[in-house]
Amino acid sequence: MTTVNVYEQRPTGSAKAESPLHHADLASLVGKAAPGAGVILREKKLLGHLTLRGDGKDPAFAGAVHKATGLELPGALGLLVNGETSLQWLGPDEWLLIVPSGEELAAEQRLREALAGLHVAIVNVSGGQSILELRGPNVRQVLMKSTSYDVHPSNFPVGKAVGTVFAKSQLVIRHTAEDTWELLIRRSFSDYWWLWLQDASAEYGLSIEA
């Protein structure tokens, strides 16, 4: 039997966790945009991100994931969202579970308990990536400026997530609601995408939301 050490990675006590865009002080920009902005940006910071690998064709694996998360395993390019919790297909044997801030340890423990005895891998990747939420009537136009992937609703419906080139780099675009999209970004590229989105949204108006 393999023993796995599962521990709390989030700073506690006097240690302070900072979001990838902490230095940009987005909070100071809330309410500063002109009325009627076509794009609204929100940093969904410090959420729990867990990658999960296993045999999606195995009913025992799929059932255990559902038991631990309350979500069915999505198929290719699929994304299921329930509030701040989501489960996304990343590859034939890999998924990404995102949970509210501070719940990643408990989520990992539930997964490990439900999946005990199965050949799986669970990794906490919370510190390496983050999410920028974009919503508003002109978000699709901003996406069209930024990626060659077809984001028309007929090709990119709600509930789809795609890894693609975006502004000469790579990230994952997630369509979470009719006029709401998310960019799953690497922490080290957060400055670059923040600057890009400001420029790409300028003609429509960009509003920052807490």
pLDDT digits (tens, 9 = 90+) for 15-50: 788 899 999 999 999 988 888 999 999 999 999 999
Dist CA 110 CA 140 (whole Å)? 37
Q: Is the pTM of this model over 0.85?
A: yes
Residue spans of alpha helices (H) in the chain: 59-69, 104-114, 139-146, 190-201
Dist CA 113 CA 64 (whole Å)? 9
CATH superfamily of 34-208: Probable tRNA modification gtpase trme; domain 1 (3.30.1360.120)
Dist CA 9 CA 205 (whole Å)? 38
How much is the pLDDT for 16? 80
106-119 average pLDDT score? 97
In the chain, where the domains are located: 34-208
